[in-house]
Amino acid sequence: MPTLYYTPAAARALARLEKGRHADARRLRRVRRALARLAADPHHPGLRSHRYPGLPGHEHTTTWTSYIDQGAGAWRLHWTWGPADRTTGRSEPGEAVVTVLRVGPHL
C-alpha cells in the first residue's frame, strides 16, 4: 500500500470541505472514500485512474487523474508517484509513495 502525501493545494481543498462556508459533508465523504481507494490500490477500478497530460503547474511530471464522482460538477484527484519534494527524504527507499497534487472540480 502506498503512503499518501498531499501538496499544500490539496490539503487546503480538503480543509475547505471540512469547515467554513464551503463545507460539504457529502462531497467530503466521497473524497475520503476515493483517497482510501487510492491508498489501497491506485489502480482500483472504481477510481478509473488514467494518465492526465498537462496538469497546470505540473506539465513536466507524469500525472494521473482518478474519479471522485461523475456528472455535473464532477470532482477529480490528480496525483503522481513519488514524494512532492524529493530533497526532504520523507520516504524510505523502496516505499511506494503517492503525492496528491490536486483535489477539485474536473478541469
pLDDT band at 90 (very low <50, low <70, confident <90, very high): low
- CATH number for the domain spanning 43: value is 3.30.2310.20
pLDDT band at 87 (very low <50, low <70, confident <90, very high): very low
- The span from the CA of 80 to the CA of 65, in Å, is 9
Per the rule left: phi > 0, alpha: psi between -120 and 50, beta: everything else, 82 is: left
Mean pLDDT value across residues 70-82: 88
Model pTM greater than 0.95? no
Encode pLDDT of 1-29 as tens digits: 888 999 999 999 999 999 988 888 999 99
CA-to-CA separations, 86 to 11, 39, 77, 90, 97, in angstroms, rounded: 19, 20, 21, 8, 11
Mean pLDDT value across residues 100-106: 90
* Full residue range of the structural domain in which residue 86 is found: 3-105
Give the number of domains in the chain: 1
Contact 76, 49 (CB under 8 A): no
pLDDT of residue 32: 95
